[in-house]
Amino acid sequence: EAGVTQFPSHSVIEKGQTVTLRCDPISGHDNLYWYRRVMGKEIKFLLHFVKESKQDESGMPNNRFLAERTGGTYSTLKVQPAELEDSGVYFCASSQDHRTGPQHFGDGTRLSIL
């Protein structure tokens, strides 16, 4: 069974540009989550999808971030325009059961804003 895959593994862009991160969850997992770790800080929750619906987006930092999951399969996280403080590692996770089911993580996208 393939795990959670994220693309790209690394991205380097300039301040003000746009970047789109992609996450492919484990097949059959309706729940998809985004987290991030910005430099020197702890890993923080961003949002949770159940199929194509946003269940909880309480962790989204501001309106420069847009997450989508059209069709309830893969998800994208767009940052537009990127700012220096957005640098960090963005993780995606998926789970079968949102109540107690464990979340399985991808290896993340390392985003560097210059």
Partner 1 sequence: DAKTTQPTSMDCAEGRAANLPCNHSTISGNEYVYWYRQIHSQGPQYIIHGLKNNETNEMASLIITEDRKSSTLILPHATLRDTAVYYCIALPYGNNRLAFGKGNQVVVIP
Is residue 103 classed as helix, strand or coil in its secondary structure? coil
Report which of 7, 9, 54 is spatially closest to residue 31, judged by C-alpha positions: 54
Q: How far is CA 79 from the centre of its chain?
A: 11
Q: Is 72 left (phi over 0), alpha (psi -120 to 50) or beta?
A: left
For partner 1, the closer of residues 15 and 54 by Cβ is: 54
Contact residues toward partner 1 (CB under 8 A) are 4, 31, 33, 35, 42-45, 48, 55-56, 58-59, 91, 93, 95, 98-100, 102-108
CB of 81 to partner 1, least distance (A): 27
CB of 13 to partner 1, least distance (A): 21
For residues 63 and 99, which CB has a smaller minimum distance to partner 1 in the complex? Answer: 99
CB of 8 to partner 1, least distance (A): 15
- CB-side neighbour CA atoms (13 Å) of 62: 8
**Which is nearer to partner 1, 87 or 95 (by Cβ)?**
95
